[in-house]
Amino acid sequence: MILVADNLHIMNPNVAKALKEKNPLPLQKIAERCKEANVYAMDINLGPLKRNTEGVITFVIEAVQDIFGGRLLLDSVQPEVLKAGIAACKRPPIINGFSLEEAKMSFILPLAAEYQTEIIGFLINEKGQVPITAEGRLEVASRLLAKAEECGIPLERVIIDPVLVPLTWQDGTRYNHEFLEVIHLLPQLCEKPIRTIAGLSNLGASSPDRAARATVEATFIHMFAALKLDYILMDITHKKALNALNLSQLLLGNKVFAWEEVKSG
């Protein structure tokens, strides 16, 4: 699995303060930490921007991209933010993302075609709902990929997110069990390999116990690794989950195993 950091988001108090004060240093510290953790890409989620939308996303990207040096995921539902973000990026970004919802089909998907970027596709239907069953999500995937192809975006530029949900949802455990089944069945639907991603932080939303959340995240990482999930979007400060990712890569990789590389905790 390839590591994508979700630490640069508006719910992070340090990020919110940096934007308010127009101070790049807290953002650059996040970028430095991501680089040290060998993160492949960093998700930028600034929430709904009401003022100076183009200036804010440009400020953030310019603050972090040279320090980080990796790919950036532009996580926004605002087309003007995505356009400005794409223009500011020195390396091709990934749009995060689109679904079958009308606004995203009409205003976000075409941006990936216009700028020839990769884009994440959420298995969410026109009503903004995640189907509970694998069958329902695969049906959404089929239509999502067809719409992308109609827009001139080949399968190779789409990354599918079957959508993890909070475990505290009614039937949350079933939703996430079906997520695993989607990862297993998706290549058969496409009749060729297709990349997938999971947003790990969704699992523990509203969890009051950080240790319990870390244990659950670590457990899911091992399951994702066995199913050959391509990308994992996660908080890189969660040591237990990060260790689980490293251990999965060690056990499923081609390197000669060495106990010295196993980190406890």
Q: 95 - beta bridge partners?
A: 74, 119
Query: How far apart are alpha carbons 245 and 23 in whole angstroms?
Result: 32
Contact assessment for residue 123 and residue 140, using Cβ atoms and an 8 Å cutoff: yes
Query: How far apart are alpha carbons 225 and 247 in whole angstroms?
Result: 10
Residue 219's pLDDT is 93
* Residues 6+ positions from 250 with CB-CB distance below 8 Å: 257, 261, 262
Cβ atoms < 10 Å from Cβ of 251: 13
The domain total for the chain is 1
| pLDDT per residue as tens digits for the range 19-78 | 999 999 999 999 999 999 999 999 999 999 988 999 999 999 999 999 999 999 999 999
Residue 264's pLDDT is 63
Contact assessment for residue 99 and residue 161, using Cβ atoms and an 8 Å cutoff: no
Low-confidence ranges of the chain (pLDDT < 50): none
Query: How far apart are alpha carbons 73 and 93 in whole angstroms?
Result: 6
Residue 260's pLDDT is 80
Q: What is the dihedral of CA 50, 157, 12, 163, to 10 degrees?
A: 100
Provide the token pair at 105: 């089909």
Residue 138 belongs to what domain range?
2-261
- Which CATH number goes with the domain that contains 144? 3.20.20.20
